[in-house]
Amino acid sequence: SDPLRDPALCREVLGRIEEALQGRSLRFMEVCGTHTVALFRSGVHSLLPSQVVHLTGPGCPVCVTHESEVAAYLELAGRDGVVIATFGDLMRVPGPGGASLKQAVAEGARVEVVYSPFDALAVAKANPGDKVVFLGIGFETTAPTVAATLRVAKAEGLSNFLVMPFHKLVPPALDVLLADPEMSVEGFMLPGHVSAIIGTAPYAPLAEKYRIPSVVAGFEPLDLLQAILLMAEMKRQDKPRVVNNYKRVVSDEGNPTARAIVEEVYRPCDALWRGIGSIPGSGLAMADAYKAHDAFEVLGVELRESPPLPGCRCGEVLKGKMPPDKCPLFAKACTPANPVGPCMVSTEGSCAAYFKYQLDL
Ligand code: SF4
């Protein structure tokens, strides 16, 4: 059997977590939607000692897409001669007034759901008279594939393939969260997939500046528990640092090839995060050599101020300040079948995870 799922090993680590804590609390945050879901699905969340508090973070790329960004792509979806190509989980994300891509389709917009940005290239080839706009949502994990697609589009002279670069970078967001005086995080469970690209070095200044135990973690039950144990031990020893506990996937250097292609196609920029606002250096804009594929540039789109969704507390949920089930709309006006905010739409959203796994407890 898989040792990473071995109940006896998991029980042993749970016991060691209690020992390491010596009755003290550990408020840890995960910053990866896959961790959110893994903590619940594995049952680890319900096994944790009561003094271990799990805070959800801004680790769901769909959820952190800002209202203004949603408004911008919805505006494009309504234009003649534009086909939007997107991953499916954006279809139901509500924008201003509750509008969504799904609703736009009902009103005649042309939207193609794709499984990879390369599929969007095929859409562009099949629709030479239209501008095909791929919505570049995602963290450091997704950006290299979108960048590789742009490289192919440029090489092939596929001028009707455009991208709206809405990518977000994780370390600058962690910096902003930790700088918030109301923030009470005592440990970070760092994302596995993002770290596979960026490596561990970008987290080190944060661990040092804020003295925060930080562990790159995998997604199996033992991975999750070991990460919590490592955070608890670092807290007890008062020796915060970055530990890579997912070495079977993440090398400390990350993936330099993936980073190189991102550096060729994009340049860092400030980016808007839902619930957090503008974070310096946390986004990727198109580099000059790729401006001909920048939907903002080619189609003259701008990000305009857009109000937050009425009643939705996604902003607080994404900052770990409110557990999803404390939102007054949770499981009442807001359910996965009828989501009010993006955190209930995305399968990796904290509200959707709480709804799916917490309500049954
Ligand atoms: Fe927003 Fe719904 Fe989550 Fe409340 S439960 S924060 S309304 S997504």
pLDDT digits (tens, 9 = 90+) for 75-108: 999 999 999 999 999 999 998 888 999 999 999 9
Identify the burial level of 330 via C-beta atoms within 10 angstroms of its C-beta, where 0-12 means exposed, 13-18 middle and 19 or more buried: buried
215 with 136, same domain: the answer is: no
The Å distance, Cα 114 to ligand 1 centre, comes to 26
In a domain, 356, yes or no: no
In the three-class reduction of DSSP (H, G, I as helix; E, B as strand; rest coil), residue 94 is classed as coil
In a domain, 143, yes or no: yes
260 with 150, same domain: the answer is: yes
73: DSSP letter: H
The domain containing residue 270 runs over which residues?
64-169+254-299
- CATH code, domain carrying 184: 3.40.50.11750
Alpha-helical (H) ranges within 1-142 are 7-21, 33-41, 44-47, 61-64, 67-77, 101-106, 117-126
In a domain, 326, yes or no: no
Query: What is the position in ligand 1's atom list of the atom closest to the CA of 314?
Result: 6
Q: For residue 102, what are the contacts with CB-CB under 8 A and spacing of at least 6?
A: 91, 92
In a domain, 39, yes or no: yes
- CATH code, domain carrying 267: 3.40.50.11740
148 with 269, same domain: the answer is: yes
Query: What is the position in ligand 1's atom list of the atom closest to the CA of 355?
Result: 5
Nearest CA to ligand 1 atom 8: 341
In the three-class reduction of DSSP (H, G, I as helix; E, B as strand; rest coil), residue 281 is classed as strand
Query: What is the position in ligand 1's atom list of the atom closest to the CA of 311?
Result: 7
Instruction: Give the per-residue pLDDT at 360.
Output: 54
How many domains does the chain fold into?
Answer: 2
- The Cβ of residue 156 has, within 10 Å, a number of other Cβ atoms equal to 12
157 with 199, same domain: the answer is: no
Residues in the chain with pLDDT values less than 70: 359-361
The Å distance, Cα 157 to ligand 1 centre, comes to 43
Nearest CA to ligand 1 atom 3: 351
In whole angstroms, how far apart are CA 162 and each of 129, 132, 184? 13, 6, 41
281 with 164, same domain: the answer is: yes
The model's pTM: 0.94
Query: What is the position in ligand 1's atom list of the atom closest to the CA of 322?
Result: 6
196 with 268, same domain: the answer is: no
Cβ atoms of 284 and 165 closer than 8 Å: yes
* CB-defined site of ligand 1, < 6 Å: 311-314, 317, 324, 327, 329-330, 334, 340-341, 343-344, 351
- The Cβ of residue 131 has, within 10 Å, a number of other Cβ atoms equal to 19
The sign one gets for the Cα dihedral 183, 52, 230, 2 is: negative
In a domain, 43, yes or no: yes
Would you say the ipTM is above 0.90? Answer: yes
Instruction: Give the per-residue pLDDT at 361.
Output: 47
- Name the amino acid, one letter, at 22: Q
Reported in sequence order, the residue ranges of the chain that DSSP labels E, i.e. its strands, are 26-30, 52-56, 82-86, 110-113, 131-136, 161-165, 187-190, 214-216, 242-244, 266-273, 277-286
Tell me how far apart the alpha carbons of residues 164 and 173 are, in angstroms, rounded to a whole number. 20
Q: Phi-psi category of 219—alpha, beta or left, where left has phi over 0 and alpha has psi -120 to 50? A: alpha
Alpha carbon of residue 201 to chain centroid: 19
Q: Which of 36, 67, 343, 355 to mutate to test the pocket of ligand 1 (most atoms within 8 A of CB)?
A: 343
292 with 258, same domain: the answer is: yes
Q: For residue 328, what are the contacts with CB-CB under 8 A and spacing of at least 6?
A: 311, 313
38 with 50, same domain: the answer is: yes
The Å distance, Cα 124 to ligand 1 centre, comes to 35
Instruction: Give the per-residue pLDDT at 279.
Output: 96
Nearest CA to ligand 1 atom 5: 330
Tell me how far apart the alpha carbons of residues 322 and 314 are, in angstroms, rounded to a whole number. 9
Instruction: Give the per-residue pLDDT at 1.
Output: 76
Tell me how far apart the alpha carbons of residues 133 and 236 are, in angstroms, rounded to a whole number. 50
The Å distance, Cα 349 to ligand 1 centre, comes to 10
In a domain, 80, yes or no: yes
In a domain, 354, yes or no: no
Cβ atoms of 233 and 227 closer than 8 Å: no
Query: What is the position in ligand 1's atom list of the atom closest to the CA of 316?
Result: 6
Q: Which of 65, 309, 327 to mutate to test the pocket of ligand 1 (most atoms within 8 A of CB)?
A: 327
- Name the amino acid, one letter, at 207: A
Name the token pair of 43. 């049952």
The Å distance, Cα 296 to ligand 1 centre, comes to 30
Q: Which of 340, 345, 359 to mutate to test the pocket of ligand 1 (most atoms within 8 A of CB)?
A: 340
Tell which residue, 142, 151, 150, has the closest CA to residue 64: 142
- Name the amino acid, one letter, at 247: K
Query: What is the position in ligand 1's atom list of the atom closest to the CA of 331?
Result: 5
145 with 188, same domain: the answer is: no
94 with 237, same domain: the answer is: no
Q: Which of 60, 312, 358 to mutate to test the pocket of ligand 1 (most atoms within 8 A of CB)?
A: 312
68 with 129, same domain: the answer is: yes
271 with 282, same domain: the answer is: yes
In a domain, 350, yes or no: no
- The Cβ of residue 208 has, within 10 Å, a number of other Cβ atoms equal to 12
